[in-house]
Amino acid sequence: MDQKTNQPFRKTTLAYLVKNNQMLLAMKKRGLGQGKLNGFGGKVKEKQGETVEEALIRETMEEIGVKPISYTQKATLEFFASAHQDWNQEVYVYLIDKWEGEPKESDEMKPQWIPINKIPYQRMWADDPYWLPYVLKGRNVKGKFSFDAKGAVIDYKVKIL
């Protein structure tokens, strides 16, 4: 529940394929986050009864053409944007270590493998450096982030579980 608006959060997924000390990031080609590198995922269709895991699989298949087989939830993040309250969301972050198919470009995402020790955080969302390194080291994370109108982090709290 969003403490500021007293409305339920929009639930979303965010996933990363990992193998051989590399992770798959994707350049967002349109919509929110256009031009940024990110994982893949999106909104849970709660009104249709979709679960978070079903959304993870659906979104991964839609955005990069692979079906997750083995995955682990590593983080739960709450995002608040004072200028865009309809953007407030609870994000379920997964690492995927087995999948069917080969990642391919879609009309929304252009995937690329990047060595984990060379992740270009400056080309990603402003919150990623605060929590993603812990996830990539195998830790579980719970975080809360507030953003200004330009997408900069103005307040945050990260708890390593």
Question: What residue has token string 């000390």?
Answer: 21
Distance, CA of 44 to CA of 128 (rounded, Å): 21
- Say which CATH superfamily domain 10-160 falls into: Nucleoside Triphosphate Pyrophosphohydrolase (3.90.79.10)
pLDDT over 90, % of the chain: 84
What pTM does this model have? 0.93
Dihedral of CA 88/37/108/29: which sign? positive
pLDDT(2) > 50: no
Domains of the chain, residue spans: 10-160
Average pLDDT over residues 48-76: 97
Mean of per-residue pLDDT scores for the chain? 92
Average pLDDT over residues 50-57: 97
Model confidence over 7-47: pLDDT tens digits?
A: 568 999 999 999 999 999 999 999 878 999 999 999 999 99
Answer with the residue of higher pLDDT: 6 or 120: 120
Average pLDDT over residues 128-139: 97
pLDDT(150) > 90: no
Model confidence over 79-116: pLDDT tens digits?
A: 998 766 667 899 999 999 999 999 999 999 999 999 99
pLDDT in the model for residue 7: 57
